[in-house]
Amino acid sequence: MNLASLRIITPEIKRLVQFFEKVTGISAQWYTDDFAEITTSNCNLAIGSTRTMSLFGKDLEHSGNNQSVIIEFLVENVDEQYGRIKGFLNEIIQEPTTMPWGNRSLLFRDPDGNLINFFTPVTAEAIKKFS
């Protein structure tokens, strides 16, 4: 089994897709006006409009209520990424900080309030884990 994607549901899909294109530097692939994907080498970040949720059932969508999931991106140099993106981030939760488990981490929120972590392994053990 492989994790294929994570999907964010949003009432403002164009705004959120543009934000992720900007922070990742990756252009989204649009499949419909209501669905796009940011594709990395390991996983896809899918972004769907709230309208797509009706295809799965009733009353499933509660966008902007995420309180426990962090979407994480492994980046080559978190400090460089921070310098590149900090000017257009609305809410920075934690500037680049080395965590006890060996990753240097930048935590911020996307326009819908979802937590996003850019991280770079910096200890030998963490580097080995992601090699």
Domain ranges in the chain are 1-62, 64-131
Across the beta sheet with 44-49, the strand order is: 5-10, 44-49, 35-39, 29-32
Q: What pLDDT is attached to residue 45?
A: 96
On whether the CB atoms of residues 40 and 78 are closer than 8 A, the answer is no
In this structure, how many other beta carbons lie within 10 angstroms of the beta carbon of residue 108? 20
Residue 21: phi, psi to the nearest 5? -60, -40
Taking the model in full, what pTM does it have? 0.88
Q: What is the pLDDT of residues 54-103, one digit of tens each?
A: 666 666 556 556 667 899 999 999 999 999 999 999 999 999 999 999 99
1-62 domain in CATH 1.10.357.10? Answer: no
CATH number of this structure's domain 64-131, picked from the four choices 3.65.10.10, 3.10.180.10, 1.10.620.20, 2.40.160.20: 3.10.180.10
CB-neighbour burial class of residue 54 (10 A; exposed 0-12, middle 13-18, buried 19+): exposed
